[in-house]
A and B are shown apart, each in its own frame.
Chain A
Amino acid sequence: MVTPLKDLGKDAIAVKGWFGAHKWLLLRRATQVGILVLFLIGPWAGLWLLKGNLAASTVLDTVPLTDPLLVLQMLAAGFVGLASTALLGAAIVAVFYVLVGGRAYCSWVCPVNIVTDGAHWLRRRLDIRQSARLKPSARWWMLGLTLVVSAATGTLAFELVNPVSMLHRGLIFGIGIGWAVIAAIFLFDLFVARHGWCGHLCPMGAFYGLLGSASLVRVRADGRDNCDDCMECYEVCPEPQVIPPAVKSAAAGGSPVILSGACTNCGRCIDICPNDVYAFGLRGRALVTPRPLPADHPRNSAPGFASNVQDDRKIA
């Protein structure tokens, strides 16, 4: 039964407790803030664990890290003489995200995620339903655009306006009026399009999604038999189109693994699901064995359990 929006998350809290129902969210926020702190502890305390920003950095002044998309843009801009440090850094980053899930960058590292998640949370609180019809595929056009403008101008043109690097650099080095761009992203996601920036437009998300389409760490829906169509995961998922191919394909013999590169490995579905449908696992192997719901699971009895309440909302 579809859970009414106002009861979103209540069932998960009833079953797992508040911390259990926000485990991955809290871990994710801690990681996002922690990475910022690692960058900031240098200028604050003179402890140079990470120096630079998400575009390029060095770990302990030795291991280079570079954004591989920036390397592609540099090559498109015609700068072919780039130092091997940048190439090595890009290779390290690319391999890392192929392992942990490309768009883990989006949900675990990128600071804009906090902004757009905030917009989405407020959108739900204000019950804003309307949304501009954007195609998620627009991001591929945007990805192409970053390379085309680089080639056309011979500069890293997109970096002039890229909200992701602008916010991260801004938090570490000073943002100027860049905050206006971030505010624009927030308002766009809040009033114009649901998951507008991260889910439809961001070319960095598109690029890391490409890396992630081959990634090792995946969200798996091995417990999909437990699913009672409460639809809560669709509500919180930043890329809900990735869910049905895994959760609803049992009859057709489909894989329970969420294979789409668009999945950000944020783990909100794992948190919100009261019935343990989802768990992190590997592409080829489950790490958590799904169990059938016990007979005394609230879904089977409790009348107050939100997903037991009939709702005429149409299943999306």
Chain B
Amino acid sequence: MSTDKETSGTSANWLKSRRKFLADMARTACGVGLFGLAVGLYAEKSRALPPTALRPPGALPENDFLAACVRCGICVRDCPYDILKLATLGEEVATGTPYFTARTGPCEMCEDIPCIVNCPTGALDTGLKDIAKARMGLAVVVDHESCIAFQGLRCEICFNTCPVRGKAIKLEYRANKRSGKHALFVPVVYSGDCTGCGLCEKACILEAAAIKVLPIALARGALGHHYRLGWEQQGEAGRPLVTPDQEHRYNLPDGVHYEHSGRGLVVDEPAAPAPGAGDTPFSSNPLDTLNRGIGGAK
């Protein structure tokens, strides 16, 4: 009898302690799980790098970068121009990660790229040896209405500051329609050479820069992958890859021909008159002129 009682008491205790253990486990798991959910959602939100924040040269694509950067700040210390910052909590940039802002502190494009050299994890790719191959962003002349070059004024600060001078930003001429007789010297960015250093944005003389460095994904369009540019393919192949178009034939009177890419309808020059045909090219008989026909056939 007493044995039964003891056994049931023990098993009740055991059940009680098991219940308590499970309840504690569930409580902890729920609390930690909720915290984890919040952290996960915050991490997803932090993935969006604001367009004004640029990563140091050699940074991996943003998604890889956020997995690779331990936020140690060694790049910040190694930048001789002190342009890099570690984001603090509350900034739009993921907490602790390095970035710079072109307008206030652009990358000076050091030839030895000191910010990359000591990156312990490879978040900044130490394989990048030529700063001209860095792609931190892409400069875009975003505002043609305020850029004074588009008003016909000579500025060209961005063109002249660009470290890849004459390649990443070129000045192109356009007609100044306002004056009707002058040229516009318009800056045009070429993505093939622009490193996204931001020196042009820093140098822009406007109150708010008309040329801005944007993240490449934001700045660039993309041609559908099925597009084939015939002239490029023709250049690669050395011959047309499609049957050439038949040239249009015009039914024109004698002495007239058509130039496709040129003057259009052209009246052939009349053959020089035979020597001694007369002292004057004009016949004394007016009917000769009237009957001569367009081509001057006799």
Contact = CB atoms under 8 A, between A and B. Distances in A.
A173 B119 CA distance: 17
Interface stretch (B34-42, B182-190, B227-235, B263-271): B34-42
Interface string B237-271: 00000000000000000000000000000000000
B71 interface: yes
A156 B39 CA distance: 10
A142 to B, nearest CB: 6
Nearest to A75: B67
Contacts of A172: 73
Given A82-B121, A145-B32, A155 B90 contact: no
A134 B86 CA distance: 34
A96 interface: no
A64 B119 CA distance: 10
A79 B64 contact: yes
B70 A86 contact: yes
A275 interface: no
For chain A, which range describes its interface: under 10, 10 to 19, 20 to 34, or 35 or more residues? 35 or more
A153 B89 contact: no
Given A79-B64, A157-B40, A86 B120 contact: yes
A138 B68 contact: no
Interface in A123-137: 134-135, 137
Interface in B22-43: 24, 28-29, 31-33, 35-36, 39-40, 42-43
Contacts of B47: 153, 155
A57 B43 contact: no
B36 A149 contact: yes
Given A66-B70, A142-B32, A173-B86, A52 B77 contact: yes
B66 A155 contact: yes
A153 B40 CA distance: 7
A166 B96 CA distance: 8
Contact of A138 (B32, B63, B85): B32
Nearest to A181: B89
A157 B39 contact: yes
A161 B42 contact: yes
Given A56-B70, A159-B71, A86 B121 contact: yes
B40 A149 contact: yes
A193 to B, nearest CB: 12
Given A145-B35, A169-B96, A157 B120 contact: no
B74 interface: yes
Contacts of B88: 170, 173-178
Contacts, number: 164
Contact of B28 (A83, A138, A153): A138
A52 B66 CA distance: 18
Nearest to A137: B28
Nearest to A143: B32
Nearest to A154: B67
B285 to A, nearest CB: 95
A160 B68 contact: no
Nearest to B82: A43
B112 interface: no
B40 A74 contact: no
A85 B76 contact: no
A74 B121 contact: yes
A67 interface: yes
B120 A169 contact: no
Interface string B88-125: 11110011100000000000000000000011111000
B69 to A, nearest CB: 7
B73 A169 contact: yes
B126 interface: yes
A173 B35 CA distance: 27
A58 B73 CA distance: 11
A55 interface: yes
Given A43-B77, A178-B88, A66 B40 contact: no
B43 A58 contact: no
A78 interface: yes
A154 B78 CA distance: 27
A48 B36 CA distance: 37
B72 interface: yes
B151 interface: no
A52 B72 contact: yes
B46 interface: yes
A155 B43 contact: yes
16 contacts: A51-B77, A51-B78, A55-B72, A56-B70, A58-B118, A66-B120, A83-B120, A85-B121, A137-B28, A138-B31, A148-B36, A155-B46, A155-B66, A160-B43, A169-B71, A176-B90
Interface of B: 24, 28-29, 31-33, 35-36, 39-40, 42-44, 46-47, 63-64, 66-74, 76-78, 85-91, 94-96, 118-122, 126
Chain A to chain B: the 4 pairs with minimum beta-carbon distance, closest first: A176-B88, A157-B43, A56-B72, A83-B122
Given A149-B39, A153-B47, 18 more contacts: A42-B77, A52-B77, A53-B71, A55-B96, A74-B68, A77-B67, A79-B67, A145-B33, A154-B67, A155-B47, A159-B96, A169-B96, A170-B88, A174-B88, A176-B89, A176-B90, A176-B91, A177-B90
